[in-house]
Homo-oligomer: A and B are copies of this chain.
Amino acid sequence: MPTLAEQLEAFIVRSHLAPGARLPPERTLAADLGVSRSRLRETIQQLVSRGLIVSRRGGGNFIAEPAADLALDQALKPLQPLAESEAGYWRDILEIRQSLETDAAYYAALRAGQQDKERLTAALDAVCAASDDAAVQSRADAAFHLAIAEASHNLVLRQVMSGLFNLLKVSIAESLTKLHQLPDTVEALNAQHRSIVEAILAGRAEEARHAAALHLSFVEDRLRHIEEEAARLRRATALRHTIPQEDTSP
């Protein structure tokens, strides 16, 4: 006996509903499937949380576009709870970024087409011209690194990296903004960015990989200092509070 969620998916494919199409009103659909609207809505929520359906209040329910940008946002979401709880999580993320991004730069140098190169230089200009707002700088920085991933012409690589960026964002948002506020850091970062782009534009793959490695080592080093500082502060303030603890076991 199939799940109602499965029945719904089956209904979607059976009625040739392409991405972007609107599926029948909930009241109608519930009647067709022979269930109450409450139940139907609960299963719809499941598909929504899986990114298969988007709802527009007053408009209707729609098959979600496979919009890669959204799909990958969803891709690593299950890890978010961990990212928020585990303290050293960001280090893991940065470590894996080191692996991926150096290779991304390498392949970008080998495969970047004219359009890729234009997007890359545009992204570089954007990060250099980013305003003093740290949040804006962080966004521009993420866009820049994703442009590299895009130029590598490896879809999986791009999607995984985008997911990692989001994880990093929820994990250490405040540290990231602090990073851009440190003196001389922005200049150093931009210099590193520029050398990466130059290597890619020139097609020097090994040089691009090396430049990316240097860049990420630099970032990791700075972030480690910032986090250590923050940890010291937390420890200091924690001493002034009683930590309440509840026993929730039956």
Binding site for B on A (CB under 8 A): 5, 9, 13, 15-18, 21-22, 38, 41-43, 45-46, 48-52, 66, 68, 71-72, 74-79, 81-82, 85-86, 89, 92-93, 95-96, 98-100, 102-103, 107, 154-157, 159-160, 163-164, 167, 245-246, 248-250
Contact = CB atoms under 8 A, between A and B. Distances in A.
A49 B81 CA distance: 15
A102 to B, nearest CB: 8
20 contacts: A5-B49, A9-B81, A42-B45, A49-B49, A49-B50, A66-B81, A72-B78, A75-B76, A75-B77, A75-B79, A79-B156, A86-B155, A89-B155, A95-B156, A96-B154, A96-B160, A99-B99, A99-B103, A99-B157, A156-B164
A92 B155 CA distance: 7
Given A92-B155, A96-B154, A96-B160, A250 B79 contact: no
A46 B50 CA distance: 8
A5 B5 CA distance: 20
Number of copies: 2
A99 B152 CA distance: 13
A15 B247 CA distance: 9
B46 A92 contact: no
Nearest to A98: B103
A5 B46 CA distance: 12
A86 B68 CA distance: 13
A154 B51 CA distance: 27
Contacts of A5: 49
